[in-house]
């Protein structure tokens, strides 16, 4: 649980830094300012979306793994003669 909080805090800090960089790039003048601003806005939107999707997939597949382990335990309880290879 503590590791989860650490990663959450790192994520909050990175997101705040991305917002700050977007603000700074929007106020800059120069030939690369527009490109940096576009890249910063893109990252500010896309990175949190990908992190959210990763979390959803992780929870989904973690739950599927637990269900499969439960099914294997139930199958072994019904027929202890079968090994895991037979299942």
Q: Of 10, 16, 11, 13, whose CA–CA distance to 40 is shortest?
A: 16
Q: Is 14 exposed, middle or buried (0-12, 13-18, 19+ CB in 10 A)?
A: middle
Please choose, from the candidates 46, 9, 2, 44, the residue with its C-alpha nearest in 3D space to the C-alpha of residue 23: 44
Look up the pTM and report it: 0.59
The more confidently predicted of residues 72 and 20 is 20
pLDDT digits (tens, 9 = 90+) for 30-66: 889 899 999 999 988 998 898 888 888 888 887 777 7
């Amino acid at each position: 649980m503590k590791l989860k909080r650490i990663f959450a805090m790192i994520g909050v800090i990175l997101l705040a830094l991305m917002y700050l960089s977007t603000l700074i790039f929007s106020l800059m003048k120069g030939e690369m300012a527009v490109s940096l601003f576009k890249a910063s806005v893109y990252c500010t939107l896309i990175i949190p979306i990908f992190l959210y999707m990763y979390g959803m997939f992780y929870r989904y597949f973690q739950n599927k793994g637990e269900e499969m382990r439960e099914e294997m335990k139930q199958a072994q309880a019904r027929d202890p003669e079968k090994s895991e290879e037979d299942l």
